[in-house]
A and B are shown apart, each in its own frame.
Chain A
Amino acid sequence: MMDFEAEINEYRPSLEVDAVEDAIVKSDLTDMNDIMMGLIKEVSKE
């Protein structure tokens, strides 16, 4: 049997078109390459 309340609370609002700019600014664009580069830098410092 479905738990209606739990199910409906799983839904999240869609990103508003007017909020796209903020979303772009807050986007985390770190990829695996950046992480590796960071680690390599740390290791080379040591």
Chain B
Amino acid sequence: MDYGRKTRVIANSYYNMGLERARLRDLSGAAECLKKSLHFNKYMTDARNLLGLIYYEVGEVGDALVQWVISMNLQPEDNRADYYLGEIQRKKGTMDNERRAVRRFNQALVYAQNGSEDLAIMQLNKVVEGKPGYVKAQLLFALLCIAREDYQKASKAVSKVLQIDCNNSKALYYKSLLKASGVNAKPEPEKRKLKNVVSHRQMEDDDVIIPPSYRENTKDQAVLNILAGLVLGAAVVLFLVMPAQTKSINENHNKEISKYSEQLSQANKKSTSLNDQLETLKTEKKATEDSLASLTNNADSILAQYQTVIGILNAYKKNDFPTVVKLYAGLDSTLITSEGVQAVIGEIRKDMSENGITVLEGLGDKSMAAGDSPTALVYYSKCFELKPASWQAKYKAAMIYKAMGEKDQANGLFSDVINNSKDVELATKAKTERGF
């Protein structure tokens, strides 16, 4: 027997073995045998076609297509693969569904391998719902369920796999795990066909749902429906639209109130600030007025002192010396700051100390005679201010102080007269008045 014949015989044997296993639903074992058969003889078309069929049965559509297309290439005529490919292409949407299922499984696998088990389970749920025969998806789903200790779902998935491929090694392994955890994975019994049982098959695009209670409306029903619609519309307006509008109006109103409150607050702040400014200005005005009054109105004012100086100078002009002395007695030279005027006052003082003492004393005496002791005191004081040795004036001033009850002032002046005056008679009088 030549090599070619030998290899064909071996390939044939493996094919027969694979076929036998496939008939017993040992798809994994059958696939292994068929692959070996093709290793020995790639032209074993039946083996390749059966391998594609097994792949298709376990949901691996891509692998099935690969085998069938190669099969068609190797044997273009009288090939069963042509029928399989035609069947898939003939039914509209089949290819799209298969494509979607495979993509979802691959996505789920990525999720699962990256730790997103929840997302993986969601995807796998969709896959196995649409394609229960997808073995790899069922196995992955079972694995994730076992990991989450959801043994019932895992058992169901494993059962489904074993129903398709009774000798699937992974399924058997998971089954043993489930058995160890106390759950038995048995192949699902075929569901009995019951009357009035709602079908849960997936809907096709062309399906039309007809409500069981559908019937033509009468005129009365139409009126009732319109009335019901109106009532419903009114209720919607009353309970949904109106509250929303009221809320909106209230919100706008509140916003406006808030805006006005803010404006009012700012106006109040401004008013308070203006009042404060007004108070400050009033205080400043009063201070300025007082200052102005001290300059102008009072007899002791600065302006009055300047006027007195002018009066003195006028009196000098008229040779009215008594007026000069009288005015000088009322002059407070300390209020005058001008150096030029102070120089003039110095000249006047010099003249007063030389010639005005007698006149001043005389004016004092005249005031005393008129009973005006305060004015007399001013004249006498001016006398000893100009000339400290004006003992008579000092004595008379002391007498006035004594009469006014100002003992300290009086005693001071009396002591000065007693101690310093060379006028013995006056000193004696002063002693007597002092009480020595």
- Binary CB contact string for chain B from 139 to 162 against chain A (1 if under 8 A, 0 otherwise): 110010011000000000000000
Give the contact stretch, choosing among B63-71, B196-204, B313-321.
B63-71
- Interchain CA distance A19-B103 in the complex, whole Å: 11
Q: Does A2 contact B (CB under 8 A)?
A: yes
Q: Does B59 contact A (CB under 8 A)?
A: yes
| Contact call B70/A27, Cβ cutoff below 8 A | yes
| Contact call A33/B7, Cβ cutoff below 8 A | yes
Q: Does B40 contact A (CB under 8 A)?
A: yes
Q: Does B19 contact A (CB under 8 A)?
A: no
Q: Does B119 contact A (CB under 8 A)?
A: no
| Contact call A20/B66, Cβ cutoff below 8 A | yes
| Contact call B113/A31, Cβ cutoff below 8 A | no
Which parts of B219-260 form the interface with A (CB within 8 Å)?
Answer: none
Q: Among B38, B69, B143, point to the contact of A31 (Cβ < 8 A).
A: B38
- Interchain CA distance A44-B147 in the complex, whole Å: 60
| Contact call A23/B38, Cβ cutoff below 8 A | no
Give chain B residues whose Cβ lies under 8 Å from the Cβ of A16: 62, 99, 102-103, 106
Give chain B residues whose Cβ lies under 8 Å from the Cβ of A14: 59-60, 62-63, 102, 105-106, 136
Which parts of A1-46 form the interface with B (CB within 8 Å)?
Answer: 2, 4, 7-9, 11, 13-20, 23-24, 27, 29-34, 36
Interchain nearest-CB distance for A19 vs B (Å): 7
| Contact call B109/A11, Cβ cutoff below 8 A | yes
Q: Does B179 contact A (CB under 8 A)?
A: no
- Interchain CA distance A29-B113 in the complex, whole Å: 32
| Contact call A31/B99, Cβ cutoff below 8 A | no
Chain A binding surface SS class? helix
- Interchain CA distance A15-B147 in the complex, whole Å: 26
Q: Among B4, B10, B102, point to the contact of A17 (Cβ < 8 A).
A: B102
| Total cross-chain contacts (CB, 8 A) | 86
Q: Does B41 contact A (CB under 8 A)?
A: yes
Known A9-B113, A31-B39, A33-B41; judge A17-B136 contact (CB<8 A): no
Interchain nearest-CB distance for A41 vs B (Å): 13
Measured CB to CB, the nearest residue on chain A to B65 is A20
Interchain nearest-CB distance for A27 vs B (Å): 6
Q: Does B128 contact A (CB under 8 A)?
A: no
Give chain B residues whose Cβ lies under 8 Å from the Cβ of A23: 62-63, 66
Q: Does B95 contact A (CB under 8 A)?
A: yes
| Contact call A17/B3, Cβ cutoff below 8 A | no
New contact pairs (18) apart from A20-B62, A34-B42, CB-CB < 8 Å: A7-B143, A8-B140, A11-B112, A11-B136, A14-B62, A14-B106, A15-B66, A15-B102, A17-B62, A17-B65, A17-B99, A19-B62, A24-B66, A27-B70, A30-B42, A31-B7, A32-B41, A33-B41
A–B Cβ pairs within 8 angstroms, 18 of them: A7-B143, A8-B143, A11-B112, A13-B106, A14-B59, A14-B105, A15-B63, A17-B95, A18-B99, A20-B66, A23-B63, A24-B69, A31-B7, A32-B11, A33-B3, A33-B4, A33-B42, A36-B7
